[in-house]
Chains A and B, each alone.
Chain A
Amino acid sequence: MIGIALPGPADFEAWRAEARRLLAAEVPPERVAWHLRGESAGLFADEAAPAPSPRRDGITVPRAFPELAEVAIRHRDPERFALLYRILWRIAGGEAGLMQVAVDPDVLRAHAMAKAVRRDAHKMHAFVRFRELAGEDGPRFVAWFEPEHHILEAEAGFFIRRFAGMRWSILTPEASAHWDGEELRIGPGGRRTDAPAEDAKEDLWRAYFASIFNPARLKPAAMRAEMPVRYWRNLPEARDIPRLMAEAPRRVAEMVARGATPPAPRRQRVLAADVEAPMPADLFTQDPTAALAALRAEVLADRGPLAEHATQAVFGEGPIGAALLFVGEQPGDEEDIAGRPFVGPAGRMFNRALEEAGIPRAEAYVTNAVKHFKFKPTGRRRLHQSPDAGDIAHYRPFLRREIEIVGPRLVVSLGATALRALTGKPLAITKVRGEVVKSEDGLPVFPTVHPSYLLRLPDPESKAREYARFLGDLKSAWREVQ
């Protein structure tokens, strides 16, 4: 057996240097006895360490190995050095993909060690409790903590990043870390009594812990799973846990027995009436601006079947008396959030086309046949759903009045839904595109496609062709009203 002594319990660099040397000399894992300097190597460590053999110098291993080993080596298990060397030996010996075999016993064990180390580190970040110590040169914060593994040095960085401007010390049985605001010093281990026995703010913290606890949800197993009892002795708030648990059933029983209580005789002060009540809408007004505003208010208050899931109704936009009135299908995701029509991807394309067709914005009013976004929620996105005949019928009275008030010379329907809403018939756009048809109210309607159709086309060629055709339609519509 070859005895290899390492200088520290979590000294990855030293282990790596030794492991490289052993591997180069082709020393199999079962012939190595790893131990810490100052500890006995064991009875059978009778061979000298080998000289490096020139044959195998550059050992390359998948990056996953050093990443795992660097963490796992902090585990307190004395066999960690041997385990890691065995994995290295196997990788170098031809099992190049070993790190990916999560079910291999060696890999599994190393992963379990790394996981335990990471958990310990996480618990250290969570459960270190500083106590303030007044000093001549300002306060110093001192904590006593008992980690399960050799993690103090590795985790000191976390506390430096968090408390860089404070002077602090973390004492553990094995070692201590001291930060003076500029430099980290690792010192010898300490005792519990080396840290202050109390802190002025602990009473407040304990009061908070007791008050934030809801006795009606007692789940002590869940608490212990995340805050194992072995940490409790260094957590000031844990002192109150037995009392809180013992009192909980009685507190809940009292609440339930008390039942409902009568309302307080003196209610909290009511909001001063500083908000003016909205004027009731005048349905019989002759003024088109007021009429449109009244209709808008009515649409926003609509509680039809689609309103339940949408953010808000989206009403039309544009000047009264616009020559062209464009009717789209329904608001999409972005319109639903913004509360304005034609602001999403299709709307942006429509606006570009309008500009290229030379139609001034002031001559166009834009709205939708359906005023709420109809969609299916799936995971993280909303999937657009086409409105059905019932949806169209529900919003048609709104649309007719909207058109009547705006009074355009020509209505341009974008897509099948708009055409159906206007004519009352399920017409195919391909059949009537380019000709002027009559709406149910006898208004001239000019059908074309919806801009979202252009967005859905897969290849750039047909996209360009259809966009040009759409532009042509817009220009024709514009000529109709000149």
Chain B
Amino acid sequence: MELRRKLEILADAAKYDASCASSGSEKRDSREGGLGSTEGMGICHAYAPDGRCISLLKVLLTNACIYDCAYCINRATSNVPRARFTVRELVDLTLDFYRRNYIEGLFLSSGIIRSPDYTMERLVDVARILREEHGFRGYIHLKTIPDASPELLAEAGRHADRLSINIELPQEGALKALAPEKDLSEIRRAMGRMRLRIEEAKEARKTERRAPAPRFAPAGQSTQMIVGADASDDRAVLGTTANLYGSYGLKRVYFSAYSPIPDASRLLPPVAPPLVREHRLYQADWLLRFYGFTLEEIMAGGEGGMLDLGIDPKLAWALRHRGEFPVDVNRAPRDRLLRVPGLGAKTVDRLLTARRHRSIRSEDLARLRLPLAKLLPFLVTEDHRPRVTDQLDLRALVAPRTGFARAARPVQLALL
């Protein structure tokens, strides 16, 4: 098969994985030899018309797979054409694209062929050849196969910046029904093993200066969860997400709205992807991790275990907790300001610094280009006090007008 055709098949097969981050790794560059650099911040080299960043060459080694996961285009019983890169083809493609500044590096995944170890070995080969034979200093993200042997995992961690195992679905029952060969317990144990190794490598780097411990995935591990393929509600999705962050020290849990695939399984007929839901889940996840909200508080803004799709979860919470407002921008502590709809963490910090020098007025907020219509019903400034905090049409007043366009704009998923 011609290389271009292979690339088309194996990129198409990889596009349902949302992750494309290239950030958070160690600093290194090519001034001492080799090719490439990573400087901490990820770079998005292009954007596709789906609004997603293209940072890494994201492909599968092969889309042949012995697993039969209903949501996956590459499942064993799918009719898609199959292809397989040779290790050499993948190495050359990565280097050719990198030299032209198309990409930050490689995100390599694969269907399971023959056995988990056999597949993992091929993935590790590509990473090893890039690193050892070509001195490649760019970013490498390897998808890890949960049942692969510990030795292969150690080698993968030595070459890769990031490793990931997909949790796939929010609940065990759904995984059993839709991905019969996958085992949630095994996935969790594998994430646990990765956490241990990542922590060990970090710890050893801190203490033993002379003989640095073997490198292990300095940019950590991440995972992806498909949203909308099973009946799990937002509460279940966010609960599982919080558990994953807390248990395995994940850098990111990616949500991926279940998207129609050209060759759908009878178990999961094609429907439009729930993009707004995906977006609201990301917002809620942010509030949980960086804004001090609890799951109960966030779910209180919605109904029946689902978030409000029409407005962001912070605003939804605020509208139901009018008693907490207004908050005084010149006096309130940080945690209260973080709860004001329209104020982000960065803005809050700037306001806290600025107010030490002088009182904040409404025009100051306008100069910072903050969304005043959304903010002012909840905020007291030097020259403004919201008059009616319980007016019934407040939602209509503060909800975004452009509807979906605004709601669907993806948050640029920076790593913290």
Residues of A within 8 A of B (CB): 97, 100-103, 105, 108, 122, 125-132, 141, 143, 158, 160-166, 199, 201, 203-205, 207-223, 225-227, 235, 237, 241, 244-245, 248, 252, 255-256, 258-264, 267-272, 274, 308-309, 311-312, 333, 336-339, 375, 377-382
**Judging by beta carbons under 8 Å apart, are A161 and B66 in contact?**
no
The docked-state distance in angstroms from the alpha carbon of A337 to that of B360 is 49
From A100, which residue of chain B is reached at the shortest CB distance?
B353
Contacts of B7 in A (CB 8 A): 204, 207-208, 211
**Judging by beta carbons under 8 Å apart, are B14 and A126 in contact?**
no
**Judging by beta carbons under 8 Å apart, are A311 and B358 in contact?**
no
Tell me whether chain B's interface is mostly helix, strand or loop, or mixed. Answer: loop
The docked-state distance in angstroms from the alpha carbon of A163 to that of B35 is 6
CB distance from A416 to the nearest CB of B (A): 25
Choose among A126, A213, A271, A333 the residue that contacts B48 (Cβ–Cβ < 8 A).
A213
Contact flag A226-B44 (CB < 8 Å), given A217-B273, A268-B65, A377-B246: yes
**Judging by beta carbons under 8 Å apart, are A205 and B100 in contact?**
yes
Contact flag A311-B246 (CB < 8 Å), given A143-B101, A162-B29, A222-B51: no
Contact flag A237-B350 (CB < 8 Å), given A201-B96, A255-B261, A337-B196: no
The docked-state distance in angstroms from the alpha carbon of A225 to that of B41 is 19
Contact flag A261-B259 (CB < 8 Å), given A130-B101, A162-B29, A377-B247: no
CB distance from B125 to the nearest CB of A (A): 21
**Judging by beta carbons under 8 Å apart, are B66 and A269 in contact?**
yes
For residue B210, CB closer than 8 A to chain A, the reply is: no
Most chain B beta-carbon neighbours within 10 Å: one of A161, A225, A381 = A161
Residues of B within 8 A of A (CB): 3-4, 7-9, 11-12, 14-16, 29-31, 33-37, 39, 41, 43-54, 57-59, 64-66, 68, 76-79, 82, 93, 96-97, 99-102, 111-115, 172, 185, 188-189, 191-193, 195-196, 239, 242-243, 245-249, 257, 259-273, 275, 288-289, 294, 350-351, 353-354, 356-358, 360, 364-365, 367-368, 405, 408-410, 412
The docked-state distance in angstroms from the alpha carbon of A162 to that of B138 is 8
Contacts of A101 in B (CB 8 A): 354, 357-358
Contact flag A217-B50 (CB < 8 Å), given A126-B45, A129-B102: yes
Contact flag A214-B50 (CB < 8 Å), given A204-B4, A219-B410, A263-B77: yes
CB distance from A169 to the nearest CB of B (A): 13
Contacts of B188 in A (CB 8 A): 311-312
CB distance from B194 to the nearest CB of A (A): 10
Choose among A102, A129, A201, A227 the residue that contacts B350 (Cβ–Cβ < 8 A).
A102
Contacts of A166 in B (CB 8 A): 35, 99
Contact flag A260-B264 (CB < 8 Å), given A219-B408, A220-B49: yes
The docked-state distance in angstroms from the alpha carbon of A160 to that of B37 is 10
The docked-state distance in angstroms from the alpha carbon of A382 to that of B37 is 35
From A308, which residue of chain B is reached at the shortest CB distance?
B172
CB distance from A227 to the nearest CB of B (A): 4
Contacts of B353 in A (CB 8 A): 100, 102
The docked-state distance in angstroms from the alpha carbon of A312 to that of B52 is 36
Contacts of A263 in B (CB 8 A): 77-78, 265-266
**Judging by beta carbons under 8 Å apart, are B409 and A225 in contact?**
yes
The docked-state distance in angstroms from the alpha carbon of A256 to that of B262 is 8
**Judging by beta carbons under 8 Å apart, are A128 and B101 in contact?**
yes
From A337, which residue of chain B is reached at the shortest CB distance?
B192
The 7 closest A-B pairs by CB, nearest first: A222-B51, A219-B51, A263-B77, A103-B364, A161-B29, A211-B11, A377-B242
Most chain A beta-carbon neighbours within 10 Å: one of B41, B46, B115, B357 = B46
CB distance from B15 to the nearest CB of A (A): 5
The docked-state distance in angstroms from the alpha carbon of A259 to that of B35 is 46
Contacts of B265 in A (CB 8 A): 260, 263
CB distance from B343 to the nearest CB of A (A): 13
Contacts of B49 in A (CB 8 A): 213, 218-220, 223, 241, 244-245, 248
15 of the cross-chain contacts (CB-CB < 8 Å) are A101-B357, A126-B45, A130-B99, A201-B96, A207-B11, A211-B9, A211-B12, A212-B58, A213-B48, A216-B260, A256-B272, A271-B115, A308-B172, A311-B188, A380-B245
**Judging by beta carbons under 8 Å apart, are B271 and A222 in contact?**
no
Contact flag A126-B189 (CB < 8 Å), given A216-B259, A255-B261: no
CB distance from B251 to the nearest CB of A (A): 11
**Judging by beta carbons under 8 Å apart, are A227 and B47 in contact?**
yes
Contacts of B39 in A (CB 8 A): 158, 161
**Judging by beta carbons under 8 Å apart, are A103 and B101 in contact?**
no
From A334, which residue of chain B is reached at the shortest CB distance?
B196
**Judging by beta carbons under 8 Å apart, are B46 and A209 in contact?**
yes
From A208, which residue of chain B is reached at the shortest CB distance?
B11
Contacts of B364 in A (CB 8 A): 103
Contacts of A267 in B (CB 8 A): 68, 76-77
Contacts of A271 in B (CB 8 A): 66, 112, 114-115
**Judging by beta carbons under 8 Å apart, are A204 and B93 in contact?**
yes
Contacts of A141 in B (CB 8 A): 99-100
The docked-state distance in angstroms from the alpha carbon of A268 to that of B243 is 34
**Judging by beta carbons under 8 Å apart, are A97 and B260 in contact?**
no
Contacts of A244 in B (CB 8 A): 48-49
The docked-state distance in angstroms from the alpha carbon of A225 to that of B8 is 26
The docked-state distance in angstroms from the alpha carbon of A379 to that of B288 is 6
**Judging by beta carbons under 8 Å apart, are B37 and A162 in contact?**
yes
The docked-state distance in angstroms from the alpha carbon of A130 to that of B273 is 36
CB distance from B297 to the nearest CB of A (A): 12
Given A130-B101, A205-B97, A311-B247, 16 more pairs with CB closer than 8 A: A132-B100, A158-B39, A160-B31, A162-B101, A199-B100, A205-B102, A211-B9, A212-B12, A219-B49, A219-B408, A221-B405, A237-B46, A261-B263, A268-B77, A339-B189, A379-B242
